[in-house]
Amino acid sequence: MEVIKITPRGYCYGVVDAIQLAKQVARDPSYPRPVYILGMIVHNRHVVQSLTEEYGIITLDGPDRLSLLDQITSGTVIFTAHGVSPAVKAKAKAKGLVCVDATCPDVTRTHELIRDLASRGYQIIYIGKRGHPEPEGAMGEAPGSVHLVETREDVDQLDLKTDKVAVTTQTTLSQWDTAELIEYIRSRYPGVLVYNEICFATQARQEAAATQAKEADVVLVVGDARSNNSNRLVQVVRERARRPAYLIDTVEDIDLNWLKGARKVAVTSGSSTPTHLTRAVIEFLEALDPDQLEAGPAPG
């Protein structure tokens, strides 16, 4: 099978930095034990398992980072690449925990922007995904001044009685969906200040997928089901490249029925997907004979 290796794909610098920082802390005996990560360091279960099995790091996961701290009485706590609110940082310090911040610099920039806008009296519309830790942390920078929206209907529910309105975004959204929603917000609030914070790594991977996937018959995106950027890659391929796309966690998830009749398969991966998982998928596909696949029944 011919495999189109979409580039760029895989780890971004924020993910690499966060994982390396966690490993450094685990190896450094000066940090008090146990070592916890408040949430998944990045949204990939294989990364989390590796940090637990190889480095003894305990990952606490749940929708509310503030309440997760109740499970920790001592030791070191690492804040994930997605960022946390000031309230989480304050509670961790009040409990006497040693705090290590692995927040992606792009997310940190959004937090700083929100603080600045709020200090100048702006109401901030934040485009993001409900239940995702990144909006949770960002909105915590200015409670009462930041309003989370995902859809036009969410925007319609807002009643911001001020001319000082700004919009900013989660870093891992679909750039095309976000652009459309920003234009709708402009129509409702003509004087709105716009700060599109979708990170360069996300945009580059989406643009590559939208362009390079057009040469393929089928596209596989390697990533965790909880990874927003991985899910957005699937969406981008389907909507922009108009090709069938499937999210898989590992090579074992490939359904050969997807590949019947295909001659070219494109592969990309989310920014939190370990390279070895994507490599295994590529090697498996390259070993397939399309003619034999077409001739024989494919397992379900």
- Whether the bond between 133 and the residue before it is cis, its omega within 30 degrees of 0, is no
Q: Which residue numbers are catalytic? A: 134
Q: Dmax over Cα atoms in the chain, in whole Å?
A: 67
Find the radius of gyration of the CA atoms of the chain.
Answer: 21
**Inter-CA distances, 145 with 108, 126, 161, 165, 234, Å:** 18, 10, 12, 10, 33
Residues 4 and 216 sit within 8 Å (Cβ to Cβ): yes
Contact 47, 274 (CB under 8 A): yes
C-alpha to C-alpha distance for 242 and 217, rounded to whole angstroms: 10
